[in-house]
Structure 1
């Protein structure tokens, strides 16, 4: 859970970094900004996270106003407008950071392209492996 108790740390950047430094919240943020998912689908997309871990982090994102507290008409989770904005910033930051790493290692950076919105779960699970170099 994100708790900021030290008044000197209450800055916008520190708040954002606390959300982004969590192991699972950036991944959930990415996927829920891609399209709505239910818990079973999120478990497939995050195979190393337990059901409890996913549930806990979904609750945290709800409390932060990043994820809607109520599922959509298809019983799937979605981001709030603030969550969608954070997702866009986070993904840009991930790409920028990866390019810096590749530049330091004299490699040509890969171009990352998101899959189609209607991609199958099998395709998205495979794409999740591509994301690992941006989120690890």
Structure 2
């Protein structure tokens, strides 16, 4: 199975998602989207394939979201995309694309929707146990 992850190595959710992909036996193409942001067309394709609105794909925490006035509901998708491309930290993460679909993997277990079954339980960085089915993590 092919997989691509738009990854931020400083993000725990992104690290856990990458580890889940590898635990499923897949070595994905890892794109550090802060260093190598997607093109506008690619970003739109990811957002659309994940079934999100542009606003749903924007990260607020730890970004210049407020300083840029991006909370203004009157802003167009084009304006939001311009901001995301000018400041890639605004692109929520991690986006993952596999042969089974595209997801914004927040929380990291969302990636299970587009992976083959896990070979067994997986333990996230914080110790949380994840089984092989989406939405079925255990403390």
TM-score by length of 1: 0.24
TM-score by length of 2: 0.24
Write 1 or 2 for the structure with the bigger share of helix.
1
Which one has more relative contact order, counting CA pairs under 8 Å at least 6 apart?
2
